[in-house]
Amino acid sequence: MRRVRYHQNGGPEVLKVEETDTPRPGPGELLIRNEAIGVTLPVVRKVREGGLELPASLGGEVAGEVVAIGPETAGFRLGDRVTGLCFGDGYADYSLLHTAMTTPIPDAASAVDAVALVRSGLIALGAYQAARPMEGESVLVTGAASGVGHLAVQLAKISGAGRVVAAVGHPEKAGFVKAMGADEVVTYQEPSWGEPVDIVLDAVGGDLLSPALAALAPGGRLVFFSSGGGTIQAYDLLVGAKSAIGFQIALIARNRPALLEQWRQQLWELFADGRLRPSVHAELPLEEAATAHRIIESRANRGKVVLRPV
């Protein structure tokens, strides 16, 4: 089978397609023939910044058909269409998924729908819930045109937010995020992000943490779920009685699997009703993984970027 790996850290050019043996599933594992692979900013950053022993494979969101089942594995059958998070060879023709990280794909959804909706949607919904929102509160989403951000905009609106502000890097994205339900659009370069809001969902981090905190009304809550790092001053929290909340979906998956499943079912129901619409910016063949990473690094995407091995 084909897989994408990198032998040194750097930009998208370090990604190489290699031939290797198709893996066999171990206990509790499923072998998936991939039909869609989600490309995420944390994986793109890891390739450039390091953190894994080299040569390294790229994990991530995958969706496809179950073609082999390991021992001591229950609840799945050959031919099932599933999606999940792969920690090994995710950018590949075939991937291994542990059953704890795997969920069925409804008949009405495609593999592309699944990788655009499930993982990104769980992060968006979980981050919003972490803010403990109340009916009618205002919400600002940074990275609003991203794979997670465009779903967060929709979920805030669906959940009863009184005003949803989309923060983006370039005004050309305004039309896209408004189509997703944003009432207002601001760009990062603006000195002020408009009227203060009750909740900020920050998907970017870094230098944007300070203006994100400044955008909060007194008593507001900033939910930070980015891999971009950054620092805020404790005094800035104190003077406005503001809160900063870290959210990590992996912690929910480990400690509150029932809640994760509840959120997952909610996402699929909203999708089936047509109220939640995952957007796919590009579908590219596996050989163009470098192109997919360039799109993400340049922040050019409007929605999800997906690799299609078949």
Mean local confidence (pLDDT), 6-17: 94
pLDDT for the residue numbered 310: 78
In angstroms and rounded to an integer, the radius of gyration of the C-alpha atoms of the chain is: 19
Contact 88, 95 (CB under 8 A): yes
Tokens 């995958």 belong to which residue?
62
User: Are 167 and 196 members of one domain?
Assistant: yes
Q: What is the pLDDT of residues 147-161, one digit of tens each?
A: 999 999 999 999 999
Domain boundary among 250, 267, 295: 250
Query: Residue 281 corresponds to which tokens in the numbers above?
Result: 């910016």
User: Are 140 and 242 members of one domain?
Assistant: yes
Q: Give the number of other Cβ atoms within 10 Å of residue 83's Cβ.
A: 27
pLDDT for the residue numbered 72: 86
Residue 104 pLDDT exceeds 80: yes
DSSP designation for 113: H
Q: How confident is the model at residue 291 (pLDDT cuts 50, 70, 90)?
A: very high
Q: Which domain holds residue 100?
A: 2-105+279-308
In sequence order, which residues have a C-beta less than 8 Å from that of residue 94 and are 6 or more positions away? 1, 22, 23, 31, 32, 33, 34, 67
Q: How confident is the model at residue 225 (pLDDT cuts 50, 70, 90)?
A: confident
Residue 249 pLDDT exceeds 90: no
Task: Report the greatest alpha carbon distance in the chain.
Answer: 59
Q: What is the pLDDT of residues 40-75, one digit of tens each?
A: 888 898 899 887 889 999 998 999 999 999 998 888
User: Are 130 and 173 members of one domain?
Assistant: yes
User: Are 243 and 152 members of one domain?
Assistant: yes
- Tell me if 256 is assigned to some domain: no
**DSSP H or E run through 104:** strand 102-104
Contact 305, 298 (CB under 8 A): no
The domain that contains 195 carries what CATH number?
3.40.50.720
User: Are 35 and 155 members of one domain?
Assistant: no
Q: State pTM to two decimals.
A: 0.90
User: Which SS3 state, helix, strand or coil, does residue 54 take?
Assistant: coil
Residue 255 pLDDT exceeds 90: no
User: Are 136 and 159 members of one domain?
Assistant: yes
Return the closest-CA partner of residue 185 out of 200, 197, 173, 198.
Answer: 173
User: Are 94 and 188 members of one domain?
Assistant: no
Mean local confidence (pLDDT), 84-104: 91
- Tell me if 301 is assigned to some domain: yes
Q: What's the chain's average pLDDT?
A: 92
Per the structure, how many domains does the chain have? 2
User: Are 20 and 72 members of one domain?
Assistant: yes
Mean local confidence (pLDDT), 98-112: 90
User: Are 245 and 289 members of one domain?
Assistant: no
Residue 230 pLDDT exceeds 80: no
Q: How confident is the model at residue 145 (pLDDT cuts 50, 70, 90)?
A: very high
Mean local confidence (pLDDT), 24-49: 93
The domain that contains 26 carries what CATH number?
3.90.180.10
| Residue predicted with more confidence, 236 or 93 | 93
pLDDT for the residue numbered 236: 80
User: Are 157 and 51 members of one domain?
Assistant: no
User: Are 169 and 225 members of one domain?
Assistant: yes
Q: What is the pLDDT of residues 177-220, one digit of tens each?
A: 999 999 999 999 888 888 999 999 998 888 888 899 999 999 99
The percentage of residues in the chain with a pLDDT greater than 90, rounded to a whole number, is 72
Mean local confidence (pLDDT), 119-144: 94
Q: How confident is the model at residue 114 (pLDDT cuts 50, 70, 90)?
A: very high
